Amino acid sequence: METRNFQELVANSWQNGLYGCLGLDPDVSKIPACVKGSGVIGRIYQFLTDIIDESKDVVGFFKPNLAFFERYGSTGIQTLKELICRINIVAPGKPIILDAKKNEIGNSNLGYVDFVFNYLGVDAVTVNPYLGLLALKPFFQKKEKGIIVLCRTSNEESDEFQGQRVELTKRLKEEITIYSPSAQSFLGEFDETIPLYLVVAHRAHVYNKTFHNVGLVTGATYPEDLKPIRQIAGSMPFLLPGIGVQSKTGDLEADLRAVLENGFYQPEGNVIINVARAALYRSQSDDYAPKCRDYFVNFNGIINTWRASL
């Protein structure tokens, strides 16, 4: 099998003006009644294949969420693998990001690496930094893959840990400015502490200098926080969940503009903007797949209009 390189696939989507990521989060209670299939998992497969086939040319990325498939045990995992194969057939140049939030201690991660990349065959995975970023080395060593670290997540309660203040020591401040000179413009705004998520962004940036395949999960629900994260992280790709159902404004254009103005990295953009429920469940009739496609056509139009104004 030909080796796929996440960085090259991502760059191709960006060059084609595709920044939208379709989150594959199947909730059988929201799937239209008209969708037929053998049992629950059969209906999920039919629904998602219809969506994938219809939207393959208007989205830049696909992001299945592992939890929505694990709940069905081995059958769910097998269905996920079949969907990944389907994407590779109908949209062979589109990166597949597994939302799994994995991490373990040291060599224990080798099992996750084998499952995610060798068994499922995805191009990138989300990971959590709580055990320390060095623990993720088995992931980082997969140079052709994308390793996307949770930094500033989109959920309302994320500040419980991510927003905790960390002492801004002289050594930490110097280290941040050495790796990210542009961060000097905002570090002066902090007196003695900074939010933990900025420390995570910095440490991920440090590891990216060595491995060159690290990205950050940065919630679109906190667009004002994207600017300092971007100043620390430089050109690292941002996976941005939170557009759509989690929106605080309910205005797609306003939400996208806020994200782009604070997180876009010139010239490629370096953003992967995820939408799941708001796109998947736009219709309860047999036009559910075209309605999902229409959402991303509008989505792309908003972004292209914004880019043309630069």
Closest listed residue to residue 272, CA positions, set 96, 66, 143: 96
Q: Is 101 a catalytic residue?
A: yes
SS3 state of residue 164: coil
> CB under 8 Å to 251, separation ≥6 — which residues?
none
What does the DSSP assignment read for 220-268?
TT-GGGHHHHHHHHTT--EEE--SSTT-SS--HHHHHHHHHHHH-BTTT
C-alpha count within 13 angstroms, C-beta hemisphere, residue 56:
17
Among 94, 101, 102, 145, which one carries the catalytic annotation?
101
| 3 state SS of 141 | coil
* Residue 55: φ, ψ to 5°: -105, 0
Q: Which amino acid is at 227?
A: K
Collapsing DSSP to helix, strand or coil, 109 comes out as helix
First to last CA, the chain: 41
- Cα-based angle 199, 201, 277 (whole degrees, multiple of 5): 125
C-alpha count within 13 angstroms, C-beta hemisphere, residue 184: 6
In the structure encoding, which two tokens stand for residue 59, read together? 């989205």
Are 158 and 126 a contacting pair, CB within 8 Å? no
Tracing tokens 């600017």 back to the chain, one arrives at 227
A 10 A CB-CB count for 57 gives: 12
Active site residues: 101
